């Protein structure tokens, strides 16, 4: 059985830490892109040298999380950001599929949430200490002091992911081999339904009129009957959206007034 090298484990932990802290150029735009499970799977695939299988799993997970929203600071789906960085690499070397990967991620989600809450409590102490430095006029120290808040993220991301990738390989292999065939069948059925849940959550925010469902029906018909791929249907959808936009513009806007 293949194994995860020390270099690969460190790289996985490092990128897990970077994506968790959100330290990216271009601000919110790049942070929003880098937070997607599909991007995580791409980076994991590059590190593990198996981009094809990693992206197959990533597409399934991304479809489930495509409609994820945060309402009042509470996410509509469990946070699997950290778990994905060790669940997918371990699944790749053990030959597991998307069902096993997502099962591991969802099982670890409560632990990840608990660890993040402990980290937030620690960050509150850092924040109050930084406020005290500002009140005393020690601005130079106050500028760099918030970086200490990433200590908890470093532990829950870099250290945790690196250690599990190195010591959890045999455990994952034993777990995969111990799963009965009927359980695997149930997981595969569940995973096949997960993308539908993600798209349903997305439609809740996009659909404002029941007549708009006809566009999605036409899209599925193009895929099922004409065999068009996703990119072709997307191009057609963009063209239809632009035509609708032009037809819905007021008369004075069309004349350039």
Alpha carbon distances (Å) from 224 to 172, 199, 217, 236:
38, 17, 10, 15
Q: Does one domain contain both 80 and 153?
A: yes
Please check whether residues 213 and 115 belong to one and the same domain. no
Contacts of residue 185, Cβ cutoff 8 Å, sequence gap at least 6: none
Q: Are residues 218 and 107 in the same domain?
A: no
Specify the pLDDT at position 10: 92
Residue 70, SS3 per DSSP: strand
Tokens 């601005």 correspond to 139
Which stretches of the chain score pLDDT less than 50? none
Indicate if 180 and 246 belong to the same structural domain: no
Position 150 scores a pLDDT of 79
DSSP letter for 210, please: G
Task: Name the pTM for this structure.
Answer: 0.66
- Looking at residue 76, its pLDDT comes to 57
Note the pLDDT of residue 217. 81
What is the predicted pLDDT for the residue at 119? Answer: 78
Q: How far apart are the first and last CA of the chain?
A: 69
Residue 1 is assigned to a structural domain of this protein:
no
Domain count, the chain: 2
- Are 244 and 198 contained in the same domain? no
Shared domain check, 172 and 226? no
Positive or negative CA dihedral for 39, 218, 202, 194? negative
Based on C-alpha coordinates, what's the Rg of the chain? 23
């Amino acid at each position: 059985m293949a194994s995860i090298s020390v270099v690969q484990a460190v790289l996985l932990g490092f990128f897990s830490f970077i994506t968790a802290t959100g330290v990216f150029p271009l601000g919110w735009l790049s942070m929003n892109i880098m937070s997607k499970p599909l991007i995580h799977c791409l980076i994991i695939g590059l590190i593990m040298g198996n981009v094809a299988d990693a992206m197959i799993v990533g597409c399934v997970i991304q479809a489930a999380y495509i409609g994820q929203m945060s309402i009042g600071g509470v996410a509509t789906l469990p946070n699997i950001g950290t778990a994905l960085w060790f669940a997918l690499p371990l699944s790749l070397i053990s030959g597991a599929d998307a069902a096993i990967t997502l099962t591991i991620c969802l099982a670890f989600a409560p632990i990840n949430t608990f660890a993040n809450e402990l980290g937030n409590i620690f960050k509150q102490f850092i924040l109050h200490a930084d406020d005290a430095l500002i009140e005393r006029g020690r601005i130079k120290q106050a500028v760099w002091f918030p970086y200490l808040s990433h200590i908890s993220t470093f532990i829950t991301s870099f250290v945790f992911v690196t250690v599990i990738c190195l010591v959890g390989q045999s455990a994952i292999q034993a777990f995969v081999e111990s799963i009965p065939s009927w359980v695997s069948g149930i997981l595969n059925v569940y995973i096949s339904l997960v993308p539908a849940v993600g798209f349903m959550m997305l439609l809740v925010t996009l659909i404002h009129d029941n007549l708009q469902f006809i566009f999605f029906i036409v899209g599925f018909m193009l895929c099922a009957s004409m065999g068009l791929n996703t990119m072709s249907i997307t191009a057609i959808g963009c063209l239809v959206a632009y035509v609708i936009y032009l037809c819905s513009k007021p008369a004075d806007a069309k004349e350039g007034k």
